[in-house]
Amino acid sequence: MIQVKRAYEAGSEEDGVRFLVERLWPRGIKKEDLAIEGWLKDLAPSTELRKWFNHDPTKWDEFCQRYFRELQKHPTVWRPLLARARRDRVTLVFRAHDTQYNNAIALKQFLQGKTKHG
C-alpha cells in the first residue's frame, strides 16, 4: 500500500515505512524529527521539471507525463520502492504546500500503475 503525507504533518504508526521523495529538504525540519527510513532524492523530478511545473494545476497532466518519462529511464531507482510497497505500507513524504498537485501524488500514481501491470 502506498500513501502520501506532507513532511510538516506528524508521523504516525499508520504511515508504515516513510521515505522523503524530494530533491530539497523540507524547510524548518530537523533530520532527526522527520522519522523517515530514507531520502530518495533520485525519485524526485529533475530540477528543470520541478521549476517548469511550479505547482501549476493547469500543467498537471503534462507534468505527470514528463515525470513518468523521467522515471521510466531509471527503473533501478523506483523498483526497490515498489518492491517494498508490495510487502509493507509505504508513505511518500513530500514538502509541497499543495496536497493535490505534487510529485509524491504523481509518484504514487506511477507506482500504482506498475503494480497493476506487473
At residue 115 the predicted structure's pLDDT band, cuts being 50, 70 and 90, is confident
Domain segments of the chain as ranges? 2-116
Give me the chain's average pLDDT, please.
94
CA distance 31 to 106: 24
Query: In this predicted structure, what is the pLDDT of residue 117?
Result: 56
Q: Which of 49, 91, 51 is nearest to 71 (CA)?
A: 49
Q: Which single residue is written with the C-alpha cell 494545476?
A: 57
pLDDT, tens digit, 9 for 90 and up, residues 52-61: 999 999 999 9
pLDDT, tens digit, 9 for 90 and up, residues 22-31: 999 999 999 8
pLDDT, tens digit, 9 for 90 and up, residues 4-13: 999 999 999 9
pLDDT, tens digit, 9 for 90 and up, residues 68-105: 999 999 999 999 999 999 999 999 999 999 999 999 99
Percent of the chain whose pLDDT exceeds 90:
92
94, containing H or E segment: strand 90-94
